[in-house]
Structure 1
Amino acid sequence: MAFFGPKRSRTALAASLRDSSKLSSRLRELLSNRGTLSRLSVCLLTILILMVAVESWKAPFPYRLGTYSAHGILASVSFKMANPIETDRERTQKESEVPYYFIQNPDLIDKLPGLLKEDLKAIANAKSLDELNSDSRAELGLTPSRRLEQFMDQFPEESEQTFAELKSRVSSPDSSDDKKITAIIDDFKKLISPLKIYGIVNENDLTKHQIRAGDDIVIIYNGKDEKGVPLKPKHVSTFDIRLPDQLSASGVLEPEWNKFPDLDSMKAVLSHWIHFQAPTTLVYDAARTQAERKQARQEVEEVYDTFQRGTVLVEPGQLIEDNQLSLLRAEYEAKEKAVPYYERVVRITFIFLMFVVLAVLNGYHLLRNKKAVARTVSRLSIYLSVIVLTVFLGRILSYDPWRAEVLPLVVTVMVFAIVYDQIMAILTALSLSLVLCLSTGGSLGHFVVLMSVSSVAVTSLATVSSRSTLIKLGFGMGLTYFLVYWGINLINSQELSNGFLDQQVLWESLQGAGWCLAAGYMVAGSLPFIESLFGVVTDISLLEMSNVSHPLLQELVRRAPGTYNHSISMATIGEAAADKIGANGLLVRVAAYYHDIGKMLKPQYFIENMVVGSESLHDNLAPAMSTLIIIGHVKDGVDLARQHNLPQPIIDFIEQHHGTTLVEYFFREAEKQADQSPDHKTDAEESSFRYPGPKPQTREAGVMMLADAVESASRTLSDPTPKRIKSLVHSLVMKRLLDGQFNECSLTLSEINVVEESLVKSLIGIYHGRIKYPEERSA
């Protein structure tokens, strides 16, 4: 026992152990709560997504276009950088080496012998040149005016002589003409057999696809050889496939003429005829050619330039331009590849801890001041999703050419200032500015710029009374950005004279100011969507809803004029009381207009709508039934509000303006009946005569509850003197205070006292005394 020290130390240790036990028990209780686990899971998931969004495993790239480098930048590591110009040159060269592909159709060549046979028979049957038809004469070169220039010098001067020689070869008096012609055709088939291999191209195809003499051409055959093996492609040149070149002295047909002496003597005529009759057999295969060229380009590897460590990447006093930025990016990527695994783990761990700290900072504020957001998974998810989206867009837009990270930041800050409060907006701005600067390599000066613009946005958005307010705020934020950004760069410049007129700084300042102005327009234009997404209502919407021409208010006037007058009076005194404690008086006034719309469904059951002297409908009902009708106007009001798409905050006022108060009149009636009839004792249970709630959740709802109560009760005063009004208001306030109706809202006792005084003052003004005019004397 001596190890534990004196008795006092043992007592302190025991107390400490008990406190630790209680804390552990409380922690286990929280973790066992399914809702708490869900919210913690959402927060953890958000942190993980943010770590991916900021690329937490690598350092930020700090350079931007136009950044001034006073001392220059040297390469800290050796690296390679792709040379797109040289790479494209080599790929273009490789692409140009790809041949043009043509598909050969040799069956068209097989038709030529038959056509020649018909013309030869016509010559054999003709007695003179004139008996041949004009087309045959032109094809055979027997018409000088239509003779091709290529064969002009190969024909005799007289066409009749050519005809006579040709006729003598295809016919004779002592032998059959068919045999001679058949022998010629058989030799002709062998003569033109190279055309089935090389094919014949259309000159227009060569011109259209810019195929030049000397370009490599590949002929694709769809058929098979005698053994059934697919024919291999053949590489040729344009000289081999152009018909004029094929018929020339060095063409592919020239060696064949010597093999057939009978045909060689008819060479000029047959060549002329082939030139006229030979069909185009080669079809350009564009798809195959382009595919081969694409593959050839892809096979060429990227050409890299090597930069050694110590190479000057940016000269001293130079602005970073496109080329330098590309070099710096390549160096950055090379350094990142060399980072060891354990360093990346350390970096990720530290960034995770930083996000946890920021989450705790913002989460503490949510738990203390925005419990509805912190304890509702859906609202918390929306809040965190907006933050993730802001970081993601901010990082993307921070790079060139946008340089617009301020845009999503300011939009988010403005939205949070409108939706939540200014403290929450500035805390979010601090966290987002820190994350964006650290994850994009931003300087301390840039952090100051972002926070300055965010502060202007937050401090100017206590209320949004009109859309022009947001536009004016956009101009204010733009001016702030321009002055702060320009001023910080001026301070950092050693030569102030140059800093004043630095065009790059002025341009960046104007660019950021433009994004701030755009943010104002974006929020102003998307305000209805913001209200719908976050379930809030701005002063702009409240002013629109306060118009008495709203269908619900018009219907309330028609069906329940007494309730309408009560709502108008209550709105007046409630707004004044809310303004006294710094609450949203406009919200109280508009909510008061709609808080009793449920009464229009059964207006005759509510005293303010009953005609003086008429019998009350409640006289024939049991107190419990009357209570159900009275309480039912809350549910009916909520249903009507949702049917007319009223915003959720107004619906909350309808639900909360009675809280869980007691319908006292009918409860007392039930108690009287229970006293007279002991069998009905259970009919007078207090819980059955209370509104279902919930109790007021906001200061504005608490103010409206009091305004509703005192405005209704003041109408029962027969002589509303200031003293009686003050006594009535005090008793009603104390009754609701002691009933615990304000336990769930943030109204303090001092604020309740201020509200009470305001209500008394307003009611005295309404029921102020008047001078009694003397009656006229009778004549």
Structure 2
Amino acid sequence: MALFGAKRTRTSNFKTTESWKERLDRIFSNESFLLRLLAMVVAILVLSVTVEAWRAPFTYRLGETVPQGILSRIDFERVDSFETRQEQEERAQKVPLYYLRKPNALQQTLQQFTLDLRAILEAEKQADLTSEVQSAFGLDITDTPVALPENTEGLVPEAGTSTTPPAAKVETKFQQLKQALTLAPDPELAASAGQPPLVVLEEVTEEFRLFLDPLTELGIVNADELKVLTPNYSREVALVTPLSSEEEEEVEIVPAQDVLLSYALRESGRLGRKWSSFGQLSQIRPYVEHWLSVQMKPTLTYSEQLTQQQMNEARKSTPEVTIKYLAGTVLLPPRSEIDAVTLELLQSEQETIYKYSSPQRKLVRFFTVTLLISVLVILMGSFLAKNYPRLVGSAGKLSVFLTVIVLTIFLARYFSADPWRAEYIPFLVAVMILCIVYDQMLATIVSFAVALIIVVSTTNDLKQFILLMSVAATAIIPLSKVPSRLTLIKVGFLAAVVAFIVYWGIAILGSDSITQLFFNPNRYLQSLKCSAWCLVAGYVVAGSLPFIESTFGVVTNISLLEMSDPSHPLLNELVRRAPGTYNHSINVASIGETAAEQIGANGLLVRVGAYFHDIGKMLKPEYFIENMNAGQTSRHDNLSPSMSTLIIIGHVKDGVDLARKHHLPPQLIDFIEQHHGTTLVEYFYHRAKENAEQDPEQDEEVSESSFRYPGPRPQSREAGVMMLADSVESASRSLTDPTPKRIESLVDAITMKKLKDGQFNSSGLTLTEINKIQTSLTKSLIGIYHGRIKYPETKAD
């Protein structure tokens, strides 16, 4: 039970004073213990789930060379993704192209044809026609007109066979077309007989309407659009008639050629076969066909949405193409690299093995992995309980610590898969955070355990473990302090360089052919990836440093340097209200920082803590001697010793309130609370005792506890240094003749008094360190009060 700080009480004969039942009741009645125990159990279970303890890890990675090759362990089937995609696309390309019918499209065509024929009849000559009508019938000079052969029955002029005629020839064609639209074969002869030409417009338009009936059944598409969608017209066309929402849409599937106007006008086409049925219309067949080719608008609209929807349905309904492999089949020849196809093959085998694993086997594996994780967690917990009792003793801090570990392993496993292979980012970020928040030793122990779990649950490869520990060591060694964010980026850069070197070193040692190794582009890609991820980790930590400080309740040297700026609002207010206290704080910061560095403590933390340790005095500065002017009467002369003590002691509480109001970090608030510890306010305590002795009517004895600071005592080495520096700096001001000997005696007396009073019991300071602090403070004060040469006064002339 050492992990949770349970203590044993023994008598002089080494027998316990409580039974086992009583001991267990006492331990399990401790709410903090139960919370810590619960956090540990939850962390173990979550880790087991994170590493998927019930299944074996997939250890192969893209580009990895397998010297001995890989044989199939079981019979299994694999879905051939390439062939399946090919089959899906083939089926999708066989889906018809969906077109929507346009209502009343042919009615508009018929109306336009009637108007154009009327224009022909009403015009005296070709020049009287509009350019649109001329172009429609091929009667404009700039266009290629339709040649009217001697026998016009069933003839369609071939494209590109005619040439541009002169104006006279076009006029002749116009007159021929106009004559064909009259009953009399010779308009001049009919006029001499006194019979006007009878126009057969209505008969022609009626025949034209009947002629277009086949198009009503199917429709016409845009030929250029269809050519793009199916260049060889191999796909069918689905004709959709939009109906109301209550009715289902009617779909008719026909060959693509059936909805092309050019195919319909052929002799064998739907329109070409009907010319013989229309006597009047057939006389102007070439002109009608030319008009249709120019003026006919598509009656069908392509629906990309419906087509894609049906193509997707076809893809989904396509059965997967599978390949069968027997046990012992060579999946990868010896000394070959794993490519994308082989990786997919190995993953299929792995999934098949897991699929057919019995529940009992999965359960045994889960409990085995959980047991191994538990052993690792207990060993690490024992180390923490012995060396970091404050971390283990706080359920909140322990929970945050365990959360970081679990989250690191989860992210590392997630990013370790191809193509990223970026497990270095979360791992290195966690190592750097632990080094900043705690120390290098804790970061080293945790990085070893986390790297071990990551490797065992991913590649199970010693090379990966060496790489992870190499970059971890590279990051840990320079991070004893974090003076700037640039330091974190430099650490990331160093880790990147080391990762690159170690990667190639391992690759060279494991390769038989150095030449082939250096000509392998995959090696360069993977080594550069490792380096890039390490550099990214440095930037991530540097950018998230304020969040790290607030989450873990720590303060880095970067933040300390920012808070040491004299322009800080609290320091500005202190120098304005209590200049003497400010000067005292500056002196304490100077000598305290030097003393802290002598014992390897954080000197910068002591310096910044000294700046703020007495900020509570600014609320009542006139009650503190350093803020009194020469000859000024002390306000304590008119107060009782107990009231004066309350005012003096109150500056600690006032300082804490001000610090929290201005959001100072907890570490600096600790300096304010602990720099006096539980020491005695001796001056007013002795005055109270003297007053009690002089007043015989006072029956109550003066209680020493009423004249002590509330504490707590210093809880860190830095706070212990701060207490001594504050005390000796204040006391040294009372020396009338501060010789080195007197300063040394003063520092020694104050140190021994604090030591005997037990003020350093919780600080972690050793006697050797206290002696070093005492020596440093003595030297600093001697330097401040060193003797100066007395210069002779200048005589007046």
TM-score, normalised with respect to structure 2: 0.82
Q: 1:577 to 1:488 in 2, by over 3 A?
A: same
How many angstroms apart in 1 are the aligned matches of 2:547 and 2:640? Answer: 47
Mapping for residues 517-528 of structure 1, pairs under 5 Å:
517-524=535-542, 526-528=544-546
How many angstroms apart in 2 are the aligned matches of 1:321 and 1:518? Answer: 27
Mapping for residues 716-731 of structure 1, pairs under 5 Å:
716-720=734-738, 725=743, 728-731=746-749
- 1:97 equivalent to 2:94? Answer yes
Cα contact 1:100–1:217 (8 A) shared by 2: yes
Cα contact 1:624–1:683 (8 A) shared by 2: no
SS at match of 1:586: helix
Cα contact 1:106–1:196 (8 A) shared by 2: no
Mapping for residues 503-514 of structure 1, pairs under 5 Å:
512-513=530-531
Name 1:437's counterpart in structure 2: 455
SS at match of 2:250: coil
TM-superposed CA distance for 1:700, in Å, is 1.5
Deviates more, 1:702-711 or 1:739-748: 739-748
- 1:252 equivalent to 2:270? Answer yes
Name 1:6's counterpart in structure 2: none
TM-superposed CA distance for 1:79, in Å, is 2.7
One-letter amino acid of the structure 1 residue matched with residue 182 of structure 2: K
- 1:216 equivalent to 2:236? Answer yes
Cα contact 1:393–1:405 (8 A) shared by 2: yes
- In structure 2, runs of 5+ residues without a counterpart are 1-12, 154-171
How many angstroms apart in 2 are the aligned matches of 1:727 and 1:739? Answer: 18
Name 2:587's counterpart in structure 1: 569
Deviates more, 1:168-177 or 1:689-698: 168-177
| Partner residue of 1:199 out of 201, 219, 244 | 219
Deviates more, 1:140-149 or 1:661-670: 140-149
How many angstroms apart in 1 are the aligned matches of 2:752 and 2:376? Answer: 43
- 1:451 equivalent to 2:448? Answer no
Q: 1:508 to 1:289 in 2, by over 3 A?
A: closer
Cα contact 2:126–2:174 (8 A) shared by 1: no
| Partner residue of 2:308 out of 263, 278, 290 | 290
Name 2:61's counterpart in structure 1: 64
Mapping for residues 365-764 of structure 1, pairs under 5 Å:
365-467=383-485, 469-470=487-488, 473-474=491-492, 476-478=494-496, 480-482=498-500, 484-492=502-510, 512-513=530-531, 515-524=533-542, 526-546=544-564, 548=566, 550=568, 552-673=570-691, 686-720=704-738, 725=743, 728-760=746-778, 762-763=780-781
- Cα offsets for 1:665-687 (capped at 9, x unmatched): 33444455556668887795554
Q: 1:269 to 1:525 in 2, by over 3 A?
A: closer
How many angstroms apart in 1 are the aligned matches of 2:475 and 2:249? Answer: 78
TM-superposed CA distance for 1:704, in Å, is 1.4
SS at match of 1:364: helix
Name 1:241's counterpart in structure 2: 259
TM-superposed CA distance for 1:726, in Å, is 5.3
Deviates more, 1:230-239 or 1:277-286: 230-239
| Partner residue of 1:168 out of 161, 171, 183 | 183
**Count of residues in correspondence between the two structures:** 761
How many angstroms apart in 2 are the aligned matches of 1:75 and 1:417? Answer: 45
How many angstroms apart in 1 are the aligned matches of 2:449 and 2:550? Answer: 25
How many angstroms apart in 2 are the aligned matches of 1:64 and 1:557? Answer: 64
Q: 1:144 to 1:580 in 2, by over 3 A?
A: closer
Q: 1:429 to 1:770 in 2, by over 3 A?
A: same
Deviates more, 1:359-368 or 1:125-134: 125-134
TM-superposed CA distance for 1:653, in Å, is 0.8
- 1:343 equivalent to 2:361? Answer yes
How many angstroms apart in 2 are the aligned matches of 1:402 and 1:140? Answer: 64
Mapping for residues 6-405 of structure 1, pairs under 5 Å:
22-111=19-108, 138=134, 143=139, 149=146, 155=152, 160=175, 163-168=178-183, 188-210=208-230, 212-222=232-242, 232-254=250-272, 256=274, 278-405=296-423
TM-superposed CA distance for 1:616, in Å, is 0.7
How many angstroms apart in 1 are the aligned matches of 2:769 and 2:480? Answer: 20
How many angstroms apart in 1 are the aligned matches of 2:429 and 2:374? Answer: 24
SS at match of 1:440: coil
How many angstroms apart in 2 are the aligned matches of 1:185 and 1:499? Answer: 83
How many angstroms apart in 2 are the aligned matches of 1:325 and 1:281? Answer: 52
Identity of aligned residues (%): 45
SS at match of 2:622: helix
How many angstroms apart in 2 are the aligned matches of 1:576 and 1:188? Answer: 110
SS at match of 1:354: helix
TM-superposed CA distance for 1:77, in Å, is 1.9
One-letter amino acid of the structure 1 residue matched with residue 682 of structure 2: E
How many angstroms apart in 2 are the aligned matches of 1:488 and 1:113? Answer: 83
How many angstroms apart in 2 are the aligned matches of 1:582 and 1:427? Answer: 21
Root mean square deviation of aligned Cα: 4.5
Cα contact 2:713–2:759 (8 A) shared by 1: yes
How many angstroms apart in 2 are the aligned matches of 1:318 and 1:361? Answer: 41
One-letter amino acid of the structure 2 residue matched with residue 103 of structure 1: L
One-letter amino acid of the structure 2 residue matched with residue 432 of structure 1: V
SS at match of 2:457: helix
One-letter amino acid of the structure 2 residue matched with residue 648 of structure 1: P
SS at match of 1:431: helix
Q: 1:144 to 1:491 in 2, by over 3 A?
A: closer
One-letter amino acid of the structure 2 residue matched with residue 245 of structure 1: Y
How many angstroms apart in 2 are the aligned matches of 1:330 and 1:656? Answer: 63
Cα contact 1:730–1:756 (8 A) shared by 2: yes
- Cα offsets for 1:456-478 (capped at 9, x unmatched): 43344333445555455445545
Deviates more, 1:601-610 or 1:618-627: 618-627
Q: 1:88 to 1:565 in 2, by over 3 A?
A: same
Deviates more, 1:636-645 or 1:596-605: 636-645
TM-superposed CA distance for 1:336, in Å, is 2.3
How many angstroms apart in 1 are the aligned matches of 2:664 and 2:560? Answer: 10
Cα contact 2:242–2:250 (8 A) shared by 1: no
One-letter amino acid of the structure 2 residue matched with residue 61 of structure 1: F
Name 2:159's counterpart in structure 1: none
How many angstroms apart in 2 are the aligned matches of 1:20 and 1:347? Answer: 44
- In structure 1, runs of 5+ residues without a counterpart are 1-15
